[in-house]
Structure 1
Amino acid sequence: MAANRYYSGPVSDHFDGTRFFNPDGEEPASALSLIRWKLGKGNVPWPRAFASPFPPAVPEGRVSGGRLVVTMVGHASMLIQVAGLNILTDPVWSERTSPFSWAGPTRVNPPGIRMSDLPPIDVVLVTHNHYDHLDLATLHALQQLEEPPVITPLGNAAIIRSRVSTARITEMDWGEQHSIAPGVTLHCEPCHHWSARGLGDRRMALWAAFVVATPDGNIYHVGDTGFHKGINYRAAREKHGGFRLANLPFGAYEPRWFMRAQHQNPEEAVKGMQLCDAAFVAGHHWGTVKLTNEGIEQPIEALHAALDARGIASDRFRPMRPGEAFEVPFVPAA
């Protein structure tokens, strides 16, 4: 077995000494399954461009007074503004989510915030190392602007420092917590996913979700996850007592036989919303880069059907478009 090139640490319930894994979960599909998927039928083409109805946003410098605003950049890149803090998730401004500049998934709409229009960023959260979430070119550009600290799961610091050698990085394991400001605590929590940057480093860096606990409500940010029988959603609710906002992925899910373990579909995302007790959801991971078989608007259609089937008002689960800003309503304490 190849040595882990990114991380060395003690064996745990999700690390075997070389590779990370999902406890009682599913391993990612094999290379043979990947070939079967790519040679199979059912791939719905996307348009070359899928313009957002929202113009590029110019966010406020800070928000306070109990307000919570999330603005969509694209895919899983979001600006969260709460309690005077500006938090950027999985920032990707590049044209492609790929190891190559000349091939791979290409974005069909520009970033919903121009990088020059970003407010001062207090912390960058990177949930895992897949190219649609960890973009070294973007992290390098952000560091050139203002050197924001980066928080990421175990093993990802080595990848980031390969391009941004001076980055201030905090690595976290599942279950750990880190103070990011007075009264604001970041928790690193499990999700059902995997990691790889190439052919020889599968599951050598950890993946995670994050909970931002603030005086103005808890925020649950999930970059990527399989539904995993709802186990992690139930655990998050039990530990944190529900959420004012959950940022949940609901795209890139077909075909199910291949994607089920790593990407939840809209119906599962709605179930997750209920299981974690989220008052509102900012839906992401759809409509910017084509990763899977479904058509570009199929996630929206499936989401509306799932919300209707469960009697949930559509304005509680918002499928975010680039440039869209969601002022999350205040939720009184129970």
Structure 2
Amino acid sequence: MIPRKPPRSVRNPYYAGPVSDHFDGVRFFSPSQPPDKSLKDLWRWRREGGGTPWPKRHPSPFRDLPPARTDGLRAALIGHASFLIQAAGLNILVDPVFSERASPVPFAGPKRVNPPGIAFEDLPPVDAVLITHNHYDHLDLDALGRLWRAYRPRVLAPLGNDAIVRARHPEIEVETRDWGQSLDLGRGVAAHLTPACHWSARGMRDRRMALWCAYVLTTPVGTVYHVGDTGFGDGGVFREVRARFGPPRLANLPIGAYEPRWFMKPQHMNPEDAVRAFRILEAEQALGHHWGTFRLTDEGIEDPPRALAAALAEAGIPEERFRPLRPGEAWEAPHSLG
């Protein structure tokens, strides 16, 4: 994406910083990403319709009761893109969403079809919360307030998202970083912000005014790569992670919210894209998320795991190496690294 020089009248309410290769002084951008879809494109999608209906309820057969701590590596899906990652004695939540709707209002917008796979009351002591970006299905300010009151965790987010949190919760301390920067979380664990092919907005006038990211967690028990949202693009974001950090022990990759493809391709991978990313990364294990909780796009609720199974078969990859998790389902590394 080649940015245009922003009009002088446009002001970023979240972040003021120097121009860079992904910030034009007002808005952030992904250098390899095509231009944003327009309102005309949005109306075309809505006018064409044709999406597969979802059931009002789609309960998961799983409910996780995580251990208080683990010296190994464990990851559990709370729902949609919300994960509890336990590594080397630390408990880390990524994009925790516990609200009934992924929406700015409580009476409209995408509604859960299943409860959180880990009840809030069953969470272990939370040491850190990582936010990938500010879309409502990833940044739940009510949940963040509850977590702060209960645990006082470290909170890490990309540039500009601290202002969004402070507007609702001025008491919460949010540490922000840019792509390529890191934060030491303790116990030998560090969180590294890496690029993603996506965007951000909380309303109609703040598109791309806060940064978005993926995370790499380097830990004594292996490297974890967590992607909240991304398009595949040219695959460069995955090649860069592989080159810088080596093959991840675990990659959490989104596999849902991808139809219609003409609209969603720049910002959301489909299962075939996710398998391509998995092969580039050479990850030991992958877990699929971002499906089956909030209806955001046109595919059916069970389409992502079916398409993932087909893509894995086509690539000759055993299904157990890339599991599409349901809420409350957990994966644990079979052994500790020596």
TM range (shorter): over 0.9
Residue 330 of structure 2: aligned partner: 325
**Counterpart code for 1:31:** L
Asked whether 1:175 is paired with 2:183, we answer no
Contact 1:28–1:262 under 8 Å retained in 2:
no
Residue 288 of structure 2: aligned partner: 283
Q: Post-superposition shift, 1:168?
A: 1.8
Shifted more, 238-247 versus 320-329: the winner is 320-329
Residue 34 of structure 1: aligned partner: 42
1:11 corresponds to which of 1, 16, 19: 19
Contact 2:89–2:187 under 8 Å retained in 1:
no
Residue 210 of structure 2: aligned partner: 205
Q: Distance in 1 between matches of 2:145 and 2:166?
A: 10
Partner SS state of residue 228, structure 1: coil
**Counterpart code for 1:328:** A
1:58 corresponds to which of 58, 61, 65: 65
Aligned length: 330
Q: Distance in 1 between matches of 2:109 and 2:167?
A: 21
Contact 2:255–2:304 under 8 Å retained in 1:
yes
Q: Distance in 2 between matches of 1:236 and 1:71?
A: 23
Q: Distance in 1 between matches of 2:337 and 2:91?
A: 23
Asked whether 1:247 is paired with 2:252, we answer yes
Q: Post-superposition shift, 1:93?
A: 0.3
Contact 2:90–2:187 under 8 Å retained in 1:
no
2:158 corresponds to which of 153, 156, 159: 153
Q: Distance in 2 between matches of 1:314 and 1:330?
A: 20
Asked whether 1:304 is paired with 2:309, we answer yes
Q: Post-superposition shift, 1:42?
A: 2.2
Q: Post-superposition shift, 1:28?
A: 2.4
1:186 corresponds to which of 181, 191, 203: 191
Q: Distance in 2 between matches of 1:134 and 1:297?
A: 25
Partner SS state of residue 289, structure 1: coil
Contact 1:79–1:88 under 8 Å retained in 2:
yes
Q: Distance in 2 between matches of 1:331 and 1:249?
A: 26
Residue 118 of structure 1: aligned partner: 123
2:234 corresponds to which of 225, 229, 237: 229
Question: Unaligned regions of 5+ residues in structure 1, if any?
Answer: none
Q: Distance in 1 between matches of 2:179 and 2:118?
A: 31
**Counterpart code for 2:28:** F
Q: Distance in 1 between matches of 2:121 and 2:46?
A: 38
Q: Distance in 2 between matches of 1:111 and 1:105?
A: 15
* TM-score, normalised via structure 1 length: 0.97
Asked whether 1:259 is paired with 2:267, we answer no
Q: Distance in 1 between matches of 2:272 and 2:320?
A: 16
Residue 3 of structure 2: aligned partner: none
Partner SS state of residue 211, structure 1: strand
Shifted more, 266-275 versus 176-185: the winner is 176-185
Asked whether 1:108 is paired with 2:113, we answer yes
**Counterpart code for 2:12:** N
* TM-score, normalised via structure 2 length: 0.96
Question: Unaligned regions of 5+ residues in structure 2, if any?
Answer: 1-6
Q: Distance in 2 between matches of 1:304 and 1:24?
A: 29
Q: In angstroms, what is the RMSD of aligned CA positions?
A: 1.1
Q: Distance in 1 between matches of 2:144 and 2:100?
A: 14
